[in-house]
C-alpha cells in the first residue's frame, strides 16, 4: 500500500501542478484513508471472530466437562444400584441356602455339616476334556461321605459341579436315577 510520501512523489513524477495536483492528492489520500479503514475493519472483524471462536470453544469445553461429570455420576449411580442389587440377591441366596439346608435335614435336628466341624475346601467343578470323569466322581463321592452328608444332598451338589457332556448326560437321567 502506498504511503503519503509515495503519493506526493507520484504526483510530482506525473507532472501535476496547482489545482490538478491538489485534486489528485485529495483523491489518492481519500483512497489511502478508505483502504486503511477497510484494513482496520477487517482486523477488527478478525479479532471479533477469533474472540467469538474462543468463547465458543470455552462453552463447548464447559459443556463437555458437564457431560463428562454427568456420565461419571450416572455410572457411579448405576454401579451403586448394581451393588445394592447384588447385595440383595446375595442375602436372598444366603437365606435360601440356610432355609434349604435346615429344611433338608432328615432327622429334623437342623444342624448343618459345616456347623459340626472345620471348614471344608470347595469341590472344583468337573472340567469336560480336562478331568477324567471316573476319577472325579470317586473324589466327589469321598467328599460327602467323609463329611457325613446324607445321600439326598449328593445329587443337587453333583449337578452344580458338572459341566459339558457330563452335565448333558446327567440332564438326561430321570429324577429317580439322578438321585441315585
Coil, strand, or helix at residue 126? coil
Q: Above 90 in pLDDT, residue 144?
A: no
Cell numbers standing for residue 135: 476319577
Phi and psi at 168, nearest 5°, equal -60, -45
Residue corresponding to grid cell 512523489:
9
* Largest Cα span, the chain: 134
* Digit-coded pLDDT (tens) for 73-87: 999 999 999 999 998
Q: Are 172 and 164 in contact (CB under 8 A)?
A: no
* Digit-coded pLDDT (tens) for 88-112: 888 888 887 777 654 444 444 444 4
Which residues are CB-contacts of 149 (< 8 A; sequence separation ≥ 6)? 113, 157
Q: Phi/psi zone of residue 62: left (φ > 0), alpha (ψ -120 to 50 degrees), beta?
A: alpha
What is the reported pLDDT for 150? 80
* Digit-coded pLDDT (tens) for 33-71: 999 999 999 999 999 999 999 999 999 999 999 999 999
The model's pTM is 0.34
pLDDT more than 70, % of the chain:
86
Amino acid at each position: 500500500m502506498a504511503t503519503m510520501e509515495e503519493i506526493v512523489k507520484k504526483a510530482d513524477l506525473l507532472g501535476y501542478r496547482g489545482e490538478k495536483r491538489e485534486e489528485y492528492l485529495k483523491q489518492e489520500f481519500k483512497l489511502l484513508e478508505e483502504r486503511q479503514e477497510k484494513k482496520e475493519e477487517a482486523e477488527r472483524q478478525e479479532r471479533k471472530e477469533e474472540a467469538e471462536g474462543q468463547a465458543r470453544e470455552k462453552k463447548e469445553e464447559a459443556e463437555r466437562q458437564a457431560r463428562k461429570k454427568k456420565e461419571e455420576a450416572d455410572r457411579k449411580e448405576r454401579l451403586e444400584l448394581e451393588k445394592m442389587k447384588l447385595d440383595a440377591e446375595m442375602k436372598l441366596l444366603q437365606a435360601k441356602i440356610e432355609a434349604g439346608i435346615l429344611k433338608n435335614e432328615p432327622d429334623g435336628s437342623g444342624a448343618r455339616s459345616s456347623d459340626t466341624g472345620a471348614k471344608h475346601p470347595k469341590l472344583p467343578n468337573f472340567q469336560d476334556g480336562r478331568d477324567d470323569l471316573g476319577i472325579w466322581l470317586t473324589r466327589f463321592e469321598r467328599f460327602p461321605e467323609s463329611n457325613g452328608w446324607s445321600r439326598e444332598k449328593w445329587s443337587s451338589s453333583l449337578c452344580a459341579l458338572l459341566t459339558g457332556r457330563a452335565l448333558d448326560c446327567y440332564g438326561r437321567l430321570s429324577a429317580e436315577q439322578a438321585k441315585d
